[in-house]
Amino acid sequence: MEKREILKRLDHTLLKQTATWEQVQALCEEGMEYEVASVCIPPCYVKKAKDYVKERLKICTVIGFPNGNMTTAAKVFETEDAVKNGADEIDMVINLGMVKEQNYEGVLAEIQEIKQACHGKLLKVIIETCLLTEEEKMKLCQVVSKSGADYIKTSTGFSTGGATFGDVELMRKHVEKGIKVKAAGGIASVEDAEKFIALGADRLGTSRLISLLEKK
């Protein structure tokens, strides 16, 4: 696969707790140089990053990250704030406690509220596949499909596991037409990236892919 085909699907990511502005700025520089889909950064840097890149690069940030068990009102506020600060894309974490209680209506209602708070910006829904049963994953594919969100996403990268080929296959099979798939967490090689794309991933979330591509 051509390098450019991979890069245009890449959310170049830096979400570690110790991330500094200098590191985020360097990420943005790489993002612009390699023409990636977006950079995914902590909410506190969104305004500064957007002011820095202007319209040369999409800015993505995370909501309810990484645990997802904040109140819906808190997530909605985070989303409104991120959009006001210039975020082009929002990656939200669902409330996994609701999933374990089989409160799928609650999960759906929360996603819909956050989608409304996006004011037309792209919304990706992180379901944290490593903590779910196969039945829960399939059910959440249905929920996200009904929610008005744009993407379903595998993982935060901060739990017990990341994206797997099986999870991407399952998502592609069970989401409705028009819902895209993002694989994130633990993408460790260019070959893995190519396989995720072949299986139907429209986006890849990783911090390592540019450096891996440069070694090819």
Please tell me what DSSP assigns to residue 180: E
Helical H runs in the chain? Answer: 3-7, 21-34, 46-53, 72-84, 96-100, 104-117, 134-147, 165-174, 190-199, 209-215
The string of pLDDT tens digits covering residues 21-73 is 999 999 999 999 999 999 999 999 999 999 999 999 999 999 999 999 999 99
Kindly indicate the confidence band of residue 122, based on its pLDDT and cuts at 50, 70 and 90: very high
pLDDT at 98: 98
Spans of all domains in the chain: 3-215
Q: Is the pLDDT of residue 101 over 90?
A: yes
What's the pTM? 0.97
pLDDT at 189: 94
Averaged pLDDT of the chain: 97
CATH topology of domain 3-215: TIM Barrel (3.20.20)
pLDDT at 215: 82
Query: What residue has token string 């360097």?
Result: 26
Residues acting as catalytic residues: 91, 153, 182
